[in-house]
Amino acid sequence: MKPNSQVLKNRSSHDTEREFGGTLGALCIPIFLPLTVLFLICVSRSPEASVLQIPPPLPSTEQLWDPLALVLLLGWIALHALLYVMPLGKVSEGLVLRDGTRLKYPINGFHSLCISGVLLMLLLGLGAPLGCLFELLVPLAVCAIAVSFLFSVYLYIRSFWVPSHALALGGNTGNPLYDFFIGRELNPRIGKFDLKYFCELRPGLIGWVVINLGMLMKEVELRGSPSLAMMLVNSFQLLYVADALWNEEAVLTTMDIVHDGFGFMLVFGDLAWVPFTYGLQAAFLVVHPQALSSLGAATIIALNGIGYYVFRKSNSQKNQFRRDPTHPSVARLETIATATGKRLLVSGWWGLVRHPNYLGDLLMALAWSLPCGFSHILPYFYVIYFTILLIHREARDERQCRAKYGLAWDTYCRRVPYRIFPYIY
Ligand SMILES: NC(=O)C1=CN([C@@H]2O[C@H](COP(=O)(O)OP(=O)(O)OC[C@H]3O[C@@H](n4cnc5c(N)ncnc54)[C@H](OP(=O)(O)O)[C@@H]3O)[C@@H](O)[C@H]2O)C=CC1
Ligand SMILES: CC(C)=CCC[C@@H](C)[C@H]1CC=C2C3=C(CC[C@@]21C)[C@@]1(C)CC[C@H](O)C(C)(C)[C@@H]1CC3
């Protein structure tokens, strides 16, 4: 038996550290977050658009279900599964697993985005009423939530048939509720089809931009042309999704793929949370049009540009450094050695703050909300949630890095004292 699987075997339900509030979190989050998705969609289209309005704008039972929504959702997932297995693009290897092997992943997410774009343009050309996505938003979200639950149950059950080295270290506590929530199996696959990698970037992320386009088309139906605010939100978020798919290979080294199991948290995050809450600004703009001056628009475009620059440059610098530290673009950067043999960057972007990529991401998040004006808090939901998510994620990553790099990590923290915001945090 390999040493790491021995470690896994030796961990009992008591010594595996629990995240997201442990069992209580695992019980409450799967109830609370799906309700939050439905609540936020309803608030975004209500005239008041206030999260505090009494009575809250709850959907009626008829509004919750539409068979067309289920057909569209399953068809969409099937289309992307088909595109995933098409022999397009290159095949890359992931990081070395605990059993010493490396999995292969198709890098064809950007192709899927482009093909989806062409298909949508064809549908629009044929007169398909894409604006009806606005009316279908609640039933689509209900179906995505239901699919997330069923899929997570499947993932939990199948995880009992895989060898111990295929389980995530943090998802094997023995507490069924917690393990279902956090995910037992690290890289669940059907043959060569990697379920976690597929869900992380394809149906949800591309679905998000399609929903945005639907909101834009609804605006065209209602007012004859899309507003500047709507076009900015659509373009910024399309850039973000296109960037993620263009740099798909980099996802293979993220915490989600390398470390986290695939359970309800990620399944729901990928299939329901991202597509139905990340684009709330566009849904809001359909019912609450905003006038935007040219100066306002130029300032917001500049903010998104700066955010994107910081996000992309810092992520690319680290990816390049991890892939080939002798590459001319990173070879001159100052680094510190660690006992693992890996080095840590202490200059360049990673010498500014310990998470420059989070800083850039947050600047972009703010730029996505500003086109919606200052009259409501709802369009700022994403920035608020994302700040909390990234602060929590930073703390998780910090714990893992301290465990991995020990004293070298403490030296890095002394050299680069701020985590995300220079001189603030
Ligand atoms: N829109 C969204 O909902 C979300 C977006 N994101 C974005 O995803 C991107 C990736 O984020 P995430 O996966 O959290 O983590 P990061 O890309 O920040 O990676 C963290 C890892 O980088 C390595 N590292 C840290 N510091 C250094 C250093 N100084 N030198 C070299 N390597 C270092 C460590 O891994 P090691 O040493 O093992 O290589 C560490 O575990 C970010 O841009 C983030 O904003 C993330 C979550 C949600
Ligand atoms: C509240 C809740 C259910 C949280 C679950 C968290 C997930 C929504 C996020 C965890 C990490 C993510 C990443 C992206 C999307 C959101 C989730 C799944 C990401 C694909 C977005 C695009 C980026 O460019 C990225 C590829 C770096 C990023 C990876 C992490």
Pocket of ligand 2 (CB under 6 A): 33, 200-201, 205, 243-244, 251, 254, 256, 265, 268-270, 273-274
Phi (first) and psi of residue 45, to 5 degrees: -105, 0
For helices 228-246 and 294-323, what crossing angle results, to 10°?
A: 10
Pocket probe for ligand 2: among 110, 195, 266, the residue whose CB has the most ligand atoms within 8 Å is 266
Q: Which amino acid is located at 160 in the chain? A: F
Q: HSE (CB half, 13 Å, CA atoms) of 226? A: 18
Q: Measured between alpha carbons, how far is 233 from 79 in angstroms, rounded to an integer? A: 26
Pocket probe for ligand 2: among 251, 267, 314, the residue whose CB has the most ligand atoms within 8 Å is 251
Alpha-carbon torsion 338, 344, 346, 347, what sign? Answer: positive
Q: Which amino acid is located at 152 in the chain? A: S
CA of 241 to the centre of ligand 2 (A): 11
Task: Map residue 343 onto helix, strand or coil.
Answer: strand
* Confidence at residue 3, expressed as pLDDT on a 0 to 100 scale: 36
CA of 372 to the centre of ligand 1 (A): 29
CA-proximal residue: ligand 1, atom 31 (nearest): 344
Ligand nearest to the CA of 264: 2
Pocket of ligand 1 (CB under 6 A): 254-255, 311, 315, 318, 321-322, 342, 344-345, 350, 355, 357-358, 361, 393, 397, 400-401, 412
CA of 318 to the centre of ligand 1 (A): 8
CA of 184 to the centre of ligand 1 (A): 22
Can you give the pLDDT of all 425 residues of the chain as single tens digits? Answer: 333 344 444 444 444 567 888 888 888 999 999 999 999 999 999 999 998 988 888 888 888 999 999 999 999 999 999 999 999 989 999 888 888 889 999 999 999 999 999 999 999 999 999 999 999 999 999 999 999 999 999 999 999 999 999 899 888 888 999 999 999 999 999 999 999 999 999 999 999 999 999 999 999 999 999 999 999 999 999 999 999 999 999 899 888 998 899 999 999 999 999 999 999 999 999 999 999 999 999 999 999 999 999 999 999 999 889 888 999 999 999 999 999 889 999 999 999 999 999 999 999 999 999 999 999 999 999 999 999 999 999 998 999 899 999 999 999 999 999 999 988 88
* Confidence at residue 5, expressed as pLDDT on a 0 to 100 scale: 40
* Confidence at residue 385, expressed as pLDDT on a 0 to 100 scale: 96
What is the DSSP secondary structure assignment for residue 219, as one 8-state letter? H
Ligand nearest to the CA of 411: 1
Whether residue 55 has a cis bond before it, omega within 30° of 0: yes
Q: Measured between alpha carbons, how far is 13 from 179 in angstroms, rounded to an integer? A: 10
CA of 369 to the centre of ligand 2 (A): 18
CA of 323 to the centre of ligand 1 (A): 14
Which are the contacts of 162, defined by CB distance < 8 A and separation ≥ 6?
Answer: 185, 188
Q: Which amino acid is located at 26 in the chain? A: A
Whether residue 47 has a cis bond before it, omega within 30° of 0: no
What ipTM score was computed for the predicted complex, to two decimals? Answer: 0.97
Phi (first) and psi of residue 237, to 5 degrees: -75, -30
CA of 202 to the centre of ligand 2 (A): 12
Alpha-carbon torsion 276, 364, 362, 239, what sign? Answer: positive
Which are the contacts of 328, defined by CB distance < 8 A and separation ≥ 6?
Answer: none
Residue 135, both tokens: 């009316």
- Given a contact cutoff of 8 angstroms between Cβ atoms, the answer to whether 403 and 340 are in contact is no
- Nearest atom of ligand 1 to the alpha carbon of 240: 1
Q: Measured between alpha carbons, how far is 380 from 387 in angstroms, rounded to an integer? A: 11
CA of 281 to the centre of ligand 2 (A): 18
Task: Map residue 105 onto helix, strand or coil.
Answer: strand
CA of 291 to the centre of ligand 1 (A): 37
Pocket probe for ligand 2: among 196, 274, 382, the residue whose CB has the most ligand atoms within 8 Å is 274
Cα-based distances in Å from 340 to 8, 195, 408: 20, 31, 10
User: Looking only at Cα atoms, what is the longest distance across the chain?
Assistant: 66
CA of 253 to the centre of ligand 2 (A): 13
- Nearest atom of ligand 1 to the alpha carbon of 269: 3
Phi-psi label, residue 348: left if phi above 0, alpha if psi -120 to 50, beta otherwise = left
* Confidence at residue 291, expressed as pLDDT on a 0 to 100 scale: 92
Phi-psi label, residue 262: left if phi above 0, alpha if psi -120 to 50, beta otherwise = beta
Task: Map residue 106 onto helix, strand or coil.
Answer: strand
Ligand nearest to the CA of 346: 1
